[in-house]
């Protein structure tokens, strides 16, 4: 049984349809990338996947033991966070909050989970540092550790690399791939089609409806995949070959 | 010092007032951290004007001000802060509400004076606080203490939730924390604190109690817990200092505490700059 299954899902705001007829299946261990232009309905779909938005048509069902609110979420950063006094540990630990219900304080088990996830993402040594003083890449690692505290099944990432420089971007992509190989199911919203086809197992291409949903190989063979992905990828590969040389790129983008 | 002790011996009410002022300062400082970080300082300021308006109307109508101002302010707080309305409530709207409530309040005091010779005095007291701390009645003291204790309990009990909805409401909601409920709770509690604080420091000076301790603490400390604890300590110390100066030098309590907070902020600001340079 899939973790998430959408059948003919339609979403909208106040009678205005944003997204319709989306069929989608996410199985344990998948790495799904949702691509599409601004305003194509990516964020709306994400809200629905998180259970924050009800379907106006069709169905969205959680399965395989996935509970509502059982999704680790990496949101885009907010302006409030830019000058927020909070230590890395405080931020990571707050990921466990959804599991606490009404109980006021965290259990020893949850504190251990927070420490374990900080270790997993290599941020244990900055646990007492102030979140706002970290680099963009470190901040994303902190938020990723927080998301892992919220769920060990499914991670949903909303444009995780926006605002990061290319080196840090590649590091973060590599980290997400590692987590996926360790068994975590990943759903990522991205502008970056080249990176999406390099790492993801499945692609969902949105433009008010699902233009494509399937495995990455099939996407690259499809009409739309050829149109969107290959152009970007060949541009990147040309750039890598001509300017940086073959050694320069950590990723060799799949053709 | 002797004057202080004899003052305490002669007026037992002073002891209660001291307790209330400290409790209210503590509440204001705790909530202040979250309000400042959520960019709600101006809305808090607007709410204190609403509390003034409600108090004036209650006085004009002959009701006990506390029991009218309390529900009105709490409802206004829930509407302005709780129902995530920061987009609809632009800053022009806050200015409108602030000025509107002030105008209506003062008009009411003039149209229906409880005693014609004290209009200016009434307005001054509600806006800038009592001129001395014996102006607080015993019943008010009990009500204030109970409410303040409740606010402190709520803050401690929901501390981690308040952190989560302040730092990242989107994440908190997505992972199962009912951000809306806690926002409403935070708003209601803010309304209570504003009404209580109005009794002590006056409507126009409440913002000083809410914003200064948090902002001072943030100059120096960099984790949420340290900021909360430090801001509580600053606020209580300033309140104590204010009370002592108020009694010994016969200054009005509200402005005295506010000025103490300003001085502490100046100190922490400088300390923050020095730490950065190191």
Q: pLDDT by residue (tens digit) across B197-210?
A: 887 888 889 999 99
- CB contact (8 A) between residue A104 and residue B167: no
CA distance A17 to A13: 7
Phi, psi of A74 (to 5 degrees): -110, 95
What integer pLDDT is reported at residue A248 of this predicted model?
44
Disruptive mutation site among B38, B174, B180, B229 for chain A (greatest number of A CBs within 10 Å) = B174
CATH numeric code, A24-53+63-70+156-255:
3.40.50.300
Interface of B with A (CB under 8 A): 37-39, 156-161, 163-164, 166-168, 170-177, 218, 221-227
Strand partners, A35: A190, A205
Among A85, A94, A95, beta carbon nearest to B227: A85
Q: What is the pLDDT of residues B88-115, one digit of tens each?
A: 566 787 888 889 999 998 888 888 776 5
How many residue pairs bridge chain A and chain B with CB atoms within 8 Å of each other?
A: 92
- All residues of chain B having their beta carbon less than 8 Å from the beta carbon of residue A71 are 174-175
- All residues of chain B having their beta carbon less than 8 Å from the beta carbon of residue A104 are 156-160
CB B39 within 8 A of CB B242: no
What integer pLDDT is reported at residue B83 of this predicted model?
61
Q: What is the pLDDT of residues A41-58, one digit of tens each?
A: 888 898 888 888 888 888
- CB contact (8 A) between residue A85 and residue B224: yes
Q: What is the mean pLDDT of residues B44-63?
A: 87
- Domain ranges for chain A, please list them: 24-53+63-70+156-255, 77-152
CB A15 within 8 A of CB A60: no
Q: Is the pLDDT of residue B57 over 90?
A: no
CA distance B272 to A203: 49
CA atoms within 13 A on the CB side of A154: 26
Q: Is the C-alpha dihedral spanning A249, A251, A252, A253 positive or negative?
A: negative
Locate tokens 């209601």: which residue? B188
Surface of A (76-135) touching B: CB under 8 A: 78, 80-81, 84-87, 90-91, 94-95, 97-100, 104-106, 128, 130, 132-133
- Domain ranges for chain B, please list them: 2-273
CATH class of the domain comprising B2-273 = mainly alpha
State the smallest CA–CA distance between residue B76 and chain A in angstroms: 24
Q: What is the pLDDT of residues A60-91, one digit of tens each?
A: 888 877 876 678 899 888 888 888 999 999 99
Structural element, H or E, at residue A110: helix A108-120
């Amino acid at each position: 049984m899939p973790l998430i299954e959408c059948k003919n899902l339609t979403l909208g705001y106040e009678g205005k349809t944003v997204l319709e007829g989306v069929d989608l299946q996410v199985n344990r261990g998948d790495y799904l990338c949702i691509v599409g232009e601004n305003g194509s309905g990516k964020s709306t779909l994400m809200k629905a996947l998180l259970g924050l938005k009800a379907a106006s048509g069709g169905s969205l069902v959680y399965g395989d033991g996935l509970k509502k609110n059982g999704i680790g979420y990496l949101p885009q950063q907010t302006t409030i966070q830019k000058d927020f006094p909070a230590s890395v540990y405080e931020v990571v630990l707050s990921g466990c909050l959804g599991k606490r219900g009404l109980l006021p304080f965290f259990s020893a088990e949850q504190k251990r989970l927070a420490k374990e996830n900080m270790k997993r993402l290599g941020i244990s040594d900055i646990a007492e540092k102030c979140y706002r003083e970290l680099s963009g890449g470190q901040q994303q690692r902190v938020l990723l550790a927080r998301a892992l505290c919220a769920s060990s099944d499914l991670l949903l990432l909303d444009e995780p690399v926006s605002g990061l420089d290319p080196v840090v971007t590649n590091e973060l992509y590599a980290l997400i791939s590692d987590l996926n190989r360790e068994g975590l199911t990943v759903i990522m919203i991205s502008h970056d089609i080249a990176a999406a086809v390099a790492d993801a197992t499945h692609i969902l291409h949105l433009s008010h409806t699902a233009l494509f949903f399937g495995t990455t190989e099939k996407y690259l063979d499809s009409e739309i995949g050829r149109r969107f992905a290959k152009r970007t990828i060949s541009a990147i590969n040309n750039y890598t070959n001509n300017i940086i040389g073959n050694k320069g790129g950590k990723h060799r983008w799949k053709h | 010092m002797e004057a202080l002790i004899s003052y305490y011996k002669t007026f037992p009410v002073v002891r209660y007032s001291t307790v209330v002022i400290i409790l209210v300062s503590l509440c204001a400082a705790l909530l202040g951290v979250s309000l400042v970080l959520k960019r709600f300082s101006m809305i808090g300021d607007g709410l204190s004007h609403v509390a003034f308006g409600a108090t004036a109307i209650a006085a004009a109508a002959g009701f006990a001000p506390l029991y009218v101002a309390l529900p009105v302010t709490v409802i206004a707080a829930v509407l302005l802060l709780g129902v995530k309305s920061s987009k609809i409530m632009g800053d022009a709207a806050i200015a409108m509400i602030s000025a509107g409530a002030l105008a209506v309040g003062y008009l009411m005091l003039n149209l229906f004076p409880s005693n014609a010779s004290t209009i200016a005095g009434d307005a001054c007291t509600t806006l800038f606080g009592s001129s001395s701390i014996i102006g607080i009645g015993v019943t008010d003291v009990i009500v204030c203490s109970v409410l303040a204790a409740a606010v402190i309990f709520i803050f401690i009990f929901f501390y981690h939730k308040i952190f989560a909805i302040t730092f990242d409401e989107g994440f908190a909601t997505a992972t199962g924390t009912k951000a809306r409920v806690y926002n409403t709770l935070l708003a209601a509690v803010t309304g209570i604190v504003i009404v209580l604080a109005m009794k002590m420091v006056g409507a126009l000076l409440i913002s000083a109690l809410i914003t200064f301790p948090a902002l001072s603490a943030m100059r120096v400390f960099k984790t949420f817990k340290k900021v909360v604890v430090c801001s509580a300590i600053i606020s209580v110390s300033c309140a104590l200092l204010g009370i002592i100066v108020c009694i010994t030098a016969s200054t009005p309590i509200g402005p005295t505490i506010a000025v103490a907070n300003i001085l502490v902020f100046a100190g922490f600001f400088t300390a923050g700059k020095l730490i950065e340079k190191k």
